[in-house]
Structure 1
Amino acid sequence: MAQFNLDQLVTYKRVIQRGSFTSAAAALGISQPAVSLQIRQLELALHVRLVERTGRGVRPTAAGLALLDHCESIESAVNAAMQAIAQHQHDISGTVTMGTGATACIHLLPTLLCQLQKAHPRLSIGVRTGNTQDIVRAVEENSIDMGLVTLPANGRSLSVTPVMKEEFIAIAQADSIGGSPTFTPTTLADKPWIAFETGSNTRQLIDGWFHADGKATTPTMALGSIEAIKRMVSAGLGYSIVPSMSVMTPADKVGLDVYPLEPTLHRELGIVMRQDKVINRSMAKVLERIHTLTDSSITPL
């Protein structure tokens, strides 16, 4: 019987998905030579070439395609075996890896993770950040267990479950505006604008809010960090629209005033997972905790 292991199969699958050894190495968190070695060992074990180089990277050979067809079923069988074993465990332990956006990571997850750690000391939760597209791709590649992302989210064989609805608000430098104005696309369109980076679902939702009123904005800054946006606004460098969870506490609002939008603007946050993901006891506990998140500024669906 050919001698190869699951790590080699996972590496091979990632190489084909990414189209290059270097990209696969980055996704797996190992070196490119380590990826090359695993593929070579797998080819030696099977006595056949699995990949061939092209001008744009690598692609599977005919034998490689045949192996790829079986990778999913092998992975599912292993997951099923792990699920069967998990039924005999009496405590919540092991590692669950989730991905989310920077805003939720900073303002939502700390409380959730602290609660889980106190309730289940043997449970370890890893967190990766990125935009919705990054997290969806990681879920599809099975490099993370689940994602908490801004919807919509689309991908191959994904399960998408909306879990909460959140309102957006406008922010300005503290004491820079008199009264209690309501910000509309018209009142904001001509002001110095500090936006989220291009490509994020949050940026698309906010741009759509302006476009629905026939307005367009040209940001003076486009930043990937919610805290960087808030700091720029508090310094008086412009205005922005941010998720309400980012200004829930007095500490979050230092140097800022917050204002409602008219018309209102919301986003949905949802859990994305692979449809074939086997949910063990630890993952079920994390999902349960996410579904119980509530706040005056975040309305569960």
Structure 2
Amino acid sequence: MHSIKNNLASTINFEQLRTFALVLESGGFSAAAERLGLTQPAVSVQVKQLERRLGVRLIERVGRRIGPTPAGADLMAELPQVEAALANAINAATFHSAGVAGRVRLGTGGTGCLYLLPPVLRDLRARHPLLNIIVSTDNTGRLIRRVEDNTLDAALVTLPVASRALAVTPILRDDFVALCQRGSRRWPAEVTAHELGALPLVKFAAGASARDIADDWMRRCGRASPPVMEFDSVEAIKAMVAAGLGVAILPKMAVTGRGHSAELDLRPLEPPLHRTLALVTRNDKPVSKGLRQVIDAVVAAGKETEAAAAAGDAPSGRPAA
């Protein structure tokens, strides 16, 4: 029986599996055909061939809609592992190729995407023009799940990371700072939660790791304060503060160096607050030459950014008038 199953698996056409999955994901044979650039009969034939090879019906029509049979549902549940295994096998083989090429899927939060990655990606493109780096932005929780599912090769996230499936490389300690419109307030050298809690706060939208960290700090200091405005974009928050519509707590990386704005005054927090950014990959992920180049470049950029901040190279804002 074991040999029969092995023979069956070895003759399954991966394109048929992909077509079967796309029919269910897109809601019909015609929609799948359009996405694949095939005719609807050609898609139907691929699914029927797969059903005939497996000896079981995979798709059924329920009313006006189609859905998986119990066998089809079980097959769909296993397909992510099949795709991950194939991607790992390809990565393992291409690791031995002469040049750095292929595709690397990198995830990051919005702040890292705006203020850490641009020079990294520019340098990688100059050195490895055949390397295709696809960058996705999301919050830390979803990025971790996508690395675990192997839909991302690596991700830049905020610690802590509890997953045992992931290798974690801390790359950057990023302090948080308070900011206001330049000249609008007489702030002390360090700003407390008590002072911030009495002011209109512009915050990240709920679910962002930076929002959670800042809110936890405010609560620990006894000043939970609702926002007057919420944004997904750090640049939108900076623009609102620069317009005098509120104050904010942001990662220092977002408002110094590349993110520096002459319209903002910055202050350290008291007690101090920071986050640690880390690069995560799956423990069992074969590291291709392309992925190795990306990992090394991101880690180096994080260390350089941290060293520059520690040395005081980045502007920190002058006292308000």
TM-score range, shorter chain: 0.7 to 0.9
CA distance in 1, matches of 2:216, 2:69: 41
2:88 to 61, 71, 79: 79
Q: Deviations over 1:262-291 (max 9, x none)?
A: 011111111222333221000001101111
Counterpart of 1:132 in structure 2 is 140
Counterpart of 1:204 in structure 2 is 212
2:51 to 46, 50, 56: 46
2:107 to 99, 104, 118: 99
Aligned-pair CA distance for 1:179: 5.7
Aligned-pair CA distance for 1:173: 0.2
Going from structure 1 to structure 2, the CA distance change for 1:172 and 1:211 (only over 3 Å counts) comes to same
- Matched to 1:234, the amino acid is A
Going from structure 1 to structure 2, the CA distance change for 1:263 and 1:122 (only over 3 Å counts) comes to same
Between stretches 59-68 and 240-249, larger displacement belongs to: 59-68
Residue 242, structure 1, aligned to residue 272, structure 2: no
Residue 121, structure 1, aligned to residue 129, structure 2: yes
1:297 to 289, 309, 318: 309
Decide which structure has greater helix share. 2
Q: Deviations over 1:76-99 (max 9, x none)?
A: 255234413431x22211221211
Asked if 2 retains the 8 angstrom alpha-carbon contact of 1:49 and 1:64, the reply is no
CA distance in 2, matches of 1:249, 1:81: 39
Aligned ranges for residues 255-270 of structure 1 at < 5 Å?
255-270=263-278
Counterpart of 1:96 in 2: which secondary structure?
strand
Counterpart of 2:70 in structure 1 is 61
Q: Deviations over 1:13-46 (max 9, x none)?
A: x99xxxx7369xxxxxx979749x8798446413
Q: TM-score, normalised by structure 2?
A: 0.76
Identical residues among aligned pairs (%): 32
Going from structure 1 to structure 2, the CA distance change for 1:298 and 1:50 (only over 3 Å counts) comes to farther
Aligned-pair CA distance for 1:221: 0.5
- Matched to 1:255, the amino acid is E
Counterpart of 1:21 in structure 2 is 25
Between stretches 193-202 and 38-47, larger displacement belongs to: 38-47
- Matched to 1:45, the amino acid is L
Going from structure 1 to structure 2, the CA distance change for 1:114 and 1:44 (only over 3 Å counts) comes to same
1:288 to 285, 293, 296: 296
CA distance in 1, matches of 2:257, 2:147: 32
Counterpart of 1:253 in structure 2 is 261
* Structure 1 gap segments, 5+ residues each: 24-29
Equivalent residue pairs, number: 285
CA distance in 1, matches of 2:144, 2:252: 23
Counterpart of 2:237 in structure 1 is 229
- Matched to 1:8, the amino acid is L
Q: TM-score, normalised by structure 1?
A: 0.81
Q: Deviations over 1:160-217 (max 9, x none)?
A: 3322211011110011123643111111011000001101111111111011112201
Counterpart of 2:123 in 1: which secondary structure?
helix
Aligned-pair CA distance for 1:114: 1.3
Counterpart of 1:292 in 2: which secondary structure?
helix
Going from structure 1 to structure 2, the CA distance change for 1:60 and 1:104 (only over 3 Å counts) comes to farther
Going from structure 1 to structure 2, the CA distance change for 1:179 and 1:142 (only over 3 Å counts) comes to closer
